[in-house]
Structure 1
Amino acid sequence: MRRVRLDMPVPGAARSSNDKLFYTYDVLGRKTALRSGSANGPLLATWGYDTVRKGALTSSTRKGTGPDGNTYDYTIKVNNYDVLGRPRSVTYIIPSVEGVGTSYTFGTNYHLDGTVQSLGMPAAGGLTGEALVFTYDDYRRPTRLTSNLATYVNNTLYTPTGKPLQYELGNTTGKRVWLTTTWQYGTQRLASSRGDRENITGSDRHAVYDYDDAATSPPSPTPPWPALRSSASATTTCAASPTPGARPVAPAPTTPPTPPSGALLPTGSPTPTTSPATAPRRSSTAPVPMAVHYRPPAPTPMPVPVAWTRR
């Protein structure tokens, strides 16, 4: 399905590079139509409001060129909203000339804290319909992804600074896969990534990354993989895996990270004694630390009316 922003020129339309776009608005200042060339020119897109929820978008339609060269309507329709004004059911309507069906409806449910609880996916392309369910930890970080058909992510581990440490894919014993990433102490840049399959000797992929002096800024948290600017070296090796059937463990720093100012340390938590400049490199045999050395502040939840209960 081809998707474009409705406020941008429509791909495939026969218009010059100097073409002008003309918008029409309702009494509330909301866009209702987009035309090409003049206020009475060819219609490119339309928007409708208020019929499903007062003040909210009902549908948006763009005029697009189909495979046969003719112009057709491509519509996104909102079927209903939740009490906070978020679309819960959305239908994509495309012309039959595309040859992939004409209507697909997606559903979304939310937790009271705003995180996505589940996604409903329609049957398409020979695949049956599916409902994806997300599980989160106390810090609203996703830890599991399951559905009525399979378990995709069975568990997720994070570093004390919130970066992904290890994903466990699948939950069928003997067929699980672990994707493990480690991060440089101090800079928090990607240090290594490894893929291991259960009961398979050796890693399918084990890459270790080094950086030159130009890569001085930490990577963006999304996506978690930093851009290797003129990387000095990026090597891939196959290391021997643990005993067949055993879960691989991620390397960890030999000294814990320094908690932020004012953070409360649990009783008995070790205190860092080595500076980042002299800290030893991570050992590939060190176990995953099971205790968090400091507890970051919990996110502020969304205000919830007393009468609400989770569906």
Structure 2
Amino acid sequence: MSNTYKSAGVDKEEGYKTVDKIKSAVAETHNENVLNNLGSFGAFYQIAGYKNPVLVSGTDGVGTKLKVALDSKRYDSIGVDCFAMCANDILCHGAKPLFFLDYLACGKLDSEIAAEIVMGMVKACKDNECALIGGETAEMPGMYKPGDYDVAGFCVGIVEKDQIIDGSKIKAGHKIIALPSSGFHSNGFSLVRKIFPDFNEEFEGKPLYETLLVPTRLYFQPVHKLLEEVKVDGIAHITGGGIIENIPRIIPQGLCAQINTSAIRIPSVMLELEKRGNIDRNEMYGTFNMGVGMVIVIDANHAEKVLNLLDDAYEIGQITEGEEKIVLN
């Protein structure tokens, strides 16, 4: 019998099934700026209505949170995570997401699983007024075991050049406002899985995996609502490295973010992880978001307005002069 691609472990028909399952849903994310449909070699997106546009791009994956999803056979939130990790990053510069592309790799493609992951991306794209304009599904036997998947994405956004937010205008006296996370988001899961090996154990009345798989919060709607009303001088997405590593990325030299840790509302699952793993609190703040998914740095005169505009936002510190870019009090 002659060798075929299928005999080597790659089933092209399953790939075609995946496209059939997602094609109409993906098309619903398109707008008048998308100039072609799925199936072209490249995706086309025209830009209109801007005076001096700057493109802002970001790429990211879901990390080992995927392991929790695959072991629990729950795939719907992973696509949201993939999109959110990219879109929340470019949002830090005031950018509106224009389009998103995904990359899905696996050992043996299951069109049902692949479609469920992509449908999560579709939902997230719709929530962010963003077009899902292309992607790649790679079946790679020998590189990945059957049942293994990896997911990554790439997002391009746009902002007027004179409206770019980069932290350079942050000054002493500015307030630091927290926007709550929805949980662990997509960071620190190698440690999460070490401390919580049984995803089916009961936690607060439900299987633990339900808490662990809550998708990364999308911040586009609240942040752009804010940007229409108030001048924002800094935004930090609290991802890998936690508050300790991410807030300093936007703090100018000679200034310090003084964080009042007693104000931070830490989720119960993170407190349980800390206790069960006997993890030092500083290690927690340098690994997880600790309940703070995004940070807004704002002139003190605007702080009350921000807190009124965003129902769940709250103050966690202020900017002072100092050589250390962050201090946890």
- The answer, yes or no, to whether TM exceeds 0.5 is no
Larger helix fraction of residues: 2
TM range (shorter): under 0.3
Higher relative contact order (CA 8 A, sep 6+): 2
Which of the two has greater strand per residue? 1
Scaled by the length of structure 1, the TM-score of the pair is 0.23
